[in-house]
Amino acid sequence: EVEPDSSRVREGLNDLYPLVVAAIEREIRADRYNEALRVIDLLDRAIPNSLAARELRAKVARRSGAVSGAASGARVASLDLPG
């Protein structure tokens, strides 16, 4: 662990913040939700109560639910046999 109150640590986190958010966004777009959530958890540890972490977590929930719902719909549609 690093000293959380260190100005050098805070500066480093601020420098990395946009890169980390961009990486999470890429993972979400690629439907790699587990990896996105793993990095969001790290972001949340580094910067507690981060608005970006909350928004990204909500985005993962929406996207993964939409993908899951679409997959269920496709499975149900494939079971519809002509009567």
pLDDT tens figures, 16-45 = 899 999 999 999 999 999 999 999 999 999
Residue 68 is predicted with a pLDDT of: 57
Q: Mutual orientation of helices 33-46 and 7-29 as an angle, nearest 10°?
A: 160
Give the Cα separation of 40 and 80 in Å (integer).
39
- Model confidence at 55: pLDDT above 80: yes
By CB atoms closer than 10 A (0-12, 13-18, 19+), residue 32 is middle
- Whether 58 shows a pLDDT value over 90: the answer reads yes
What angle do the packed helices 51-79 and 33-46 form, to 10 degrees? 160
**pLDDT score of 77 more than 60:** no
Token pair 């149900």 in the structure block, residue:
76
